[in-house]
Chain A
């Protein structure tokens, strides 16, 4: 049998796989964060029984739903980025770098003012450095083949 030759197929660097794994782990964490407030408020068992607002303020139930919705949005965004990232799309690199930057700002503010989450900080550091690797940037069209930034 004649083997089909892969032509013009970009080789995916190991760093891309590491980042993809990190995104999957973050997605799972976020998914847990979607369910956690809903479980604590027994929404799966009883449904939405109370009101979500008292005046302009959120009730405990409203807060739980809002938190859950936020994490759901982040999870879905994570999946979107992951798809783009695995398909080696430039926009996914930009989105992920932006997201990592925002996440690092939050981590640093937490570090200086309240309780730092070192695990999140470490994972963001790894993602930021991995996204900066020349081969990764080249494959996502951030750098030219000669190494200069586009």
Chain B
């Protein structure tokens, strides 16, 4: 059990609000962030309520300016396949779009909060991910998306809300499960501007983010043990950090964990920095299968590090150099308690913003804290322990008791086995002696066979019990060692449970030629397109070969700028060698089989003759 003396505590008798306030986080945003946690009441009053019908029709249910939280949860009939959603920004005409975008520029100039990407995500990924990224961007032509004008209008409207009343809200929920007291902090944002504001994956109206703190009870006090932050790319055990893991979980004033929020995405990170969020576009099953097979040969047979050209490295900027909200900061929280009985939490299952008709869902608004987009219950709400992989972890005081119980149980079984095994062995030996006495007497053949069966059964039983005894000895040793370790106040590695640790990009790791690499990253894809156009025009007969050569050239130039020329040239040559080997096999498979058989025959003969010669 981890020593708890240095940890902040709260009395078991503390109210839910007191508990939430005691451990409320400090949220650190990136400079240039446009949206901060706000209250849903104000937001809903700015929205209209809509219903998207299965036949493609969109029906206005409540007009903007007439909607309230009470009206939002009024019972309304909905047919199967319909989608209910809010709309923060109404459809904009061309002139309105131009105006809001101009106003957005003016607002940013006034606020003076600019975001600079630095070495952007393009320079961090290679040419192939960039190519996939280009296709991903083009996919927005087919998918539904939130327009840039909508993002601009949302920014303007949010600033109006903020200027009316500058308050930052979190929605706190306190619940109890399996010995744990669980504090959930839900943050609501009017808009997710990751794509339009910070070169990210998606934009959507409204955004819900959440962090959870897990406390256990000891001597009438509640002590924090774990904190879990919801994130894009991680789940289960990887989401949580132990309270005393100061390297990972930063603290303000001892009891307030710090959140470093991704710019635009608002995803919560434990450490400040710039994170590569990898997006894997959906691929057909057979393509994934081929990639998987290639990857196995590449890694296991050829010993090369894995390459995934199909993931797109989007950067989530969680720099923490902007506005800070929380205890000890110039801006503080306005907490509001929620639970299942809060009407807008439990009774509104629709989306909290525009339904953009994006089949991949990245641009559709999320649903509320209790529900997924399809209206099904949200795992983090009904199973907050399982959400962070804590369903299998007992609270520390129970752990010691459970270990003691386990030890006692195994010891008891060992005692039973110490008595049982000799008894069965004695019986077995007696039967063995009797069987030996039957040998050489043909008239006892039937009894002999029956006895042999009994002996075999007993033998198997003894073997199984002895195996159990041996395994129990090892298990008991392990359990006792663990119990002693915990009794002595020993601590486990705080990160032993993490399989995939979110690590920000190393700021000291620079590209070989920063500026050149960045410029190259910005223009290389266009060069590729120009080259394709030139090939089509000047040498259409050599289109595919030319394309392959140009692509290889671009990859090699890129690798030179990144200081990875040697690795790249090795990989490119290997891929070419694999293609050539395949061609050779297709044309000369008979010869190849004959040569392999002859070599195998000669080798076998050599080894056998050596064996004969001694």
Contact = CB atoms under 8 A, between A and B. Distances in A.
A73 to B, nearest CB: 21
A94 B584 contact: no
B581 A125 contact: yes
Contacts, number: 74
A134 to B, nearest CB: 6
Given A101-B569, A118-B584, A149-B305, A125 B577 contact: yes
B544 interface: yes
Nearest to A134: B303
A121 B583 contact: yes
Contact of B302 (A105, A111, A132): A132
Contacts of B587: 118
A121 to B, nearest CB: 5
B584 A124 contact: no
A132 B302 CA distance: 7
Contacts of A129: 574, 577, 581
Sorting the interface of chain A by its residue count into under 10, 10 to 19, 20 to 34 or 35 or more gives 20 to 34
Interface string A86-111: 00000000100110110011011101
A77 to B, nearest CB: 16
Given A112-B545, A142-B566, A101 B579 contact: no
A107 B566 contact: no
Contacts of B567: 149
A113 interface: yes
A132 B577 CA distance: 11
Interface in B86-133: none
A94 B486 CA distance: 54
B589 interface: no
Contacts of A20: none
B174 interface: no
Contacts of A94: 565-566, 569
Sorting the interface of chain B by its residue count into under 10, 10 to 19, 20 to 34 or 35 or more gives 20 to 34
A122 interface: yes
Interface in B543-565: 544-545, 548-549, 552, 565
Contacts of A125: 577, 580-581, 584
Contact of B580 (A104, A142, A147): A104
A72 to B, nearest CB: 25
B584 A105 contact: no
Interface string B250-267: 000000000000000000
B566 A128 contact: no
Given A104-B577, A108-B580, A132-B302, A97 B545 contact: no
B573 A101 contact: yes
Interface of A is mostly: helix
A118 B303 contact: no
Contact of B303 (A108, A116, A147): A147
Contact of B577 (A111, A116, A124, A134): A124
B580 A97 contact: no
Contacts of B579: 108
A76 B239 CA distance: 59
Interface in A128-150: 128-129, 131-132, 134, 142, 147, 149-150
Contacts of B541: 113
Contacts of A116: 583
Contacts of A121: 580, 583-584
B303 A104 contact: no
A134 B566 CA distance: 15
10 contacts: A98-B569, A98-B573, A101-B573, A116-B583, A121-B584, A124-B577, A124-B580, A125-B580, A125-B581, A149-B305
Interface of A: 94, 97-98, 100-101, 104-105, 107-109, 111-113, 116, 118, 121-122, 124-125, 128-129, 131-132, 134, 142, 147, 149-150
Interface of B: 302-305, 541-542, 544-545, 548-549, 552, 565-567, 569-570, 572-574, 576-577, 579-581, 583-584, 587-588
Given A97-B570, A105-B549, A142-B566, 15 more contacts: A94-B566, A97-B569, A101-B576, A104-B576, A105-B552, A108-B579, A109-B545, A109-B549, A112-B544, A112-B545, A129-B577, A132-B304, A147-B303, A149-B304, A149-B567
Closest 9 CB pairs of A and B: A128-B577, A101-B573, A104-B576, A109-B545, A125-B577, A125-B580, A128-B573, A125-B581, A121-B580
